[in-house]
Amino acid sequence: MLHKTSKMTGFHIHAKDGVIGHIDDFLVDATTWSIRYLVVDTSNWVGGRSVLISMKVVGAIDSGSRKIHVDLTRDQIEKSPSVDTAEIELMETLPTVWIM
């Protein structure tokens, strides 16, 4: 099933042992146009960090309940790289600017 990313922003992320935050954004591979990482806002749990979660650990997407289940524990997610500390090209984290 295909899902629109604009509709998935705000979906709650469920780890193996509880809820850990919600989707704030996505990082897309510039070559394949596939989603590489979910940018997850954990401000209600880990004190305001935005962490990266690989799409490889997504177990299930429940569109009706606006939930995404991942195959990680809350502890593993807490230790995930933040958007600020991950080795991502600066250009990849900047917003798109359209000049018309």
- Please tell me the pTM assigned to this model: 0.78
Q: How confident is the model over 19-67, as pLDDT tens digits?
A: 999 999 998 888 888 899 999 998 876 566 889 999 999 999 999 999 9
DSSP 44: T
Residue spans of the domains in the chain: they are: 5-93
pLDDT at 82: 80
8 Å CB contact between 23 and 4: no
3-state secondary structure of 90: helix
5-93 belongs to which CATH class? mainly beta
DSSP 55: G
Average per-residue pLDDT for the chain = 83
Q: Which residues have a Cβ under 8 Å from the Cβ of 21 and sit 6 or more positions away? A: 12, 13, 40, 41, 42, 43, 44, 45, 46, 51, 77
